[in-house]
Amino acid sequence: MIDKSSPVPYYYQLRQILEGTIRSGSVESDGQLPSEAALCEGYGVSRTVVRQALSDLEREGLIVRLKGKGSFVAQPKTPEYLVQSLTSLYEDVHARGQKLETRVLRLEREPVSPVIADLLELDESESIVLLERLRIVDGEPWEVTTAHLPYSLCAPILELDMTERSLYETLERDLGLRLHRGTRSVEAGRANKAIARHLGIPAGAAVLILKGTTFLEDGRPVEHFVGIHRGDRSRFEVELFRPFVGEELAGSSGGSAGELASLS
């Protein structure tokens, strides 16, 4: 109960109580919390106190508040490490012991656009292999990813079944290409109708957009990809180290792309 003799603010006490209830599993994911009126009556506090506590829990990602419906326990987010190492989603998911399914949405040769030509250092007269896939983790739609690959290097992929393959393993094992370094950036976005349909979320829902370019040992770019992840299921985690005194900060003098995982 709320200790009204304590100097700790009422809203903070209520937030702690509700957070403990959520973390203990007393209310399952997607389960509904008591209404604001019920919380006011049950804890003997004002609606302002209740709303402040719920706002804090929502900001921490523990609950989702739906107008006209109430507050619900948020689905837990799965940590992903694609921004700090040159791994694929296939490798990341299998390392966590989860099951990954893939549906190939597009696999075709097409002319390169000016933007992709610049990223892959191609002449605009060249072609690319475009591979678009829906990735499903433990039966739940997770990500739509589009990879752009130089046709001159990756044409054999057009003849392969990419539903059961890791793209990075295919590039290295089947095509003999040695991946060396890459860049990553993450930004927030909203799902358009096509992405929402694939991911099973409402149009306009929050998504995390992961972009990256992968380079070979000789410095040539071999892939540029855009991965659109569900914002309610994924979070990207990185491990950081403080440089020693006198050591240059990464990026301060144009550090290599492989040394940087940029979050924009």
pLDDT tens across the length of the chain (264 residues): 888 888 889 998 898 899 888 878 777 766 888 999 999 999 999 999 999 989 888 877 678 888 888 888 876 655 544 444 545 565 666 666 678 889 999 999 999 998 899 999 999 899 999 999 998 888 888 889 999 999 999 999 999 999 988 899 899 999 999 999 888 888 888 889 999 999 998 888 888 888 889 999 999 999 999 999 887 776 666 665 667 666 555 555 444 433 333 332
112 in the same domain as 65: no
CA–CA dist 171, 167 (Å, integer): 6
CA dist 75 to 21, 29, 54, 164, Å?
15, 5, 16, 28
How many domains does one find in the chain?
Answer: 2
Residue where a domain stops, chosen among 49, 73, 97: 73
Structural domain of residue 20, as residue ranges? 10-73
28 in the same domain as 109: no
- Name the β-bridge partners of 190: 206
Which pLDDT value is given to residue 258?
37
CA–CA dist 176, 249 (Å, integer): 35
- Tell me which DSSP letter residue 171 carries: I
45 in the same domain as 176: no
123 in the same domain as 206: yes
117 in the same domain as 220: yes
pTM, to two decimals: 0.62
Nearest 10 degrees: Cα torsion 11, 12, 14, 19: 140
90 in the same domain as 69: no
Q: Give the type of residue at 229.
A: H
- At 192, which CATH number? 3.40.1410.10
